[in-house]
Amino acid sequence: MRKLMVVLVVLAFACGTMLMMSSCAKKQIGTGEAAPAAAPSAPAAAPAPSTAGVDMAQDVRAFEAEGIYFDFDKAEIKADAKAILEKKAAWLRANPSYNVKIEGNCDDRGTNEYNLALGDRRAKAAQKFLNALGIGMNRMSTISYGEEKPACTEKNEKCWSKNRRDDFKLSK
């Protein structure tokens, strides 16, 4: 009887451990090539003159589709990113009822803690740049996802460069 109890306790412990381990797995969000492919084409399309709600929905999608990218282990705004942020600032000035959340992201090289801090520096760099262009700090928030929301999951430089980015999400 005692042997049976020991076996049951060990079995229950093993099942509990497996349950805990499986619930702590990282989520892999995104499939690699889909998100960056949509980004270049969306801003080029001019909104068609139709109802205001449809135009605004297209404007919001175009705003959110275009992110900015960073060099490896850097949080400095590059020249091409400055042009994108200037367009975003103009849009935000023209649409004062919208707020923006800036999401800092990193590739998967480095520790989770380091990448969360780097993602935070990247998001804050974009926030500071937009603030210098006249967007109030009360209209912007930042969050770092570190390496948790990759746009691409392959292990090569081309893919890693797509993950070193800031994304922009609008809200009212």
pLDDT digits (tens, 9 = 90+) for 47-97: 444 456 778 999 999 999 999 999 999 999 999 999 999 999 999 999 999
Q: Which domains does the chain have, with CATH numbers?
A: 28-171 (3.30.1330.60)
SS (H, E, C) 97-108: CCEEEEEEECCC
User: Where is pLDDT greater, at 10 or 33?
Assistant: 10
Closest CA to 68 of 59, 78, 58: 78
DSSP 22-53: HHTPPP----SSHHHHHHHHHHHSPPPSS-HH
Instruction: Tell me the pLDDT tens digit for each residue of 6-30.
Output: 665 555 555 555 555 555 444 444 4
Strand order in 140-146's β-sheet? 68-69, 165-171, 99-105, 140-146
Q: Is the model's pTM score more than 0.75?
A: no
pLDDT at 54: 78
